[in-house]
């Protein structure tokens, strides 16, 4: 099984990387963009076929390692 994990900054947390991308888009002449927020993405290959076990594993992984839950949110999908 595979998990697709997305970690994003919580609302209100400053995102200098996103701001830099907005500025670069302006410079490149790409218009129509209001704002950009950057996050992180992980693809995790899991052993086993039990979806509930996979969800517990990925949730533990996010809490302990992948996300800083003080300033970041995480969400994930388990895909087969």
* Opening angle at CA 63, ends 20 and 4, nearest 5: 65
Answer for which of 11, 12, 16, 35 binds its own copies (CB under 8 A) is 35
43 contacts its own copies (rule: CB under 8 A): yes
* Two structure tokens written together for 13: 């947390």
How many C-beta atoms lie closer than 10 Å to residue 68's C-beta? 11
Asked if 50 contacts 38 with a C-beta cutoff of 8 angstroms, the reply is no
When asked if residue 73 is in the footprint of its own copies (CB under 8 A), the reply is: no
13 near its own copies (CB under 8 A): no
Is residue 11 a contact residue for its own copies (CB under 8 A)? no
Q: Which residues bind its own copies (CB under 8 A)?
A: 6-8, 18, 21, 24-25, 28, 30-48, 53-54, 57, 60-61, 64-66
């Amino acid at each position: 099984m595979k998990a697709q994990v997305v970690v994003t900054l919580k609302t209100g947390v400053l995102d200098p990387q996103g701001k830099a991308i907005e500025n670069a888009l302006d410079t490149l002449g790409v218009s129509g963009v209001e704002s950009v927020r950057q996050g992180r993405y992980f693809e995790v290959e899991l052993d086993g076929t039990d979806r509930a076990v996979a969800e517990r594993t990925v949730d533990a992984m996010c809490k302990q390692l992948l996300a800083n839950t003080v300033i970041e949110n995480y969400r994930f999908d388990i895909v087969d």
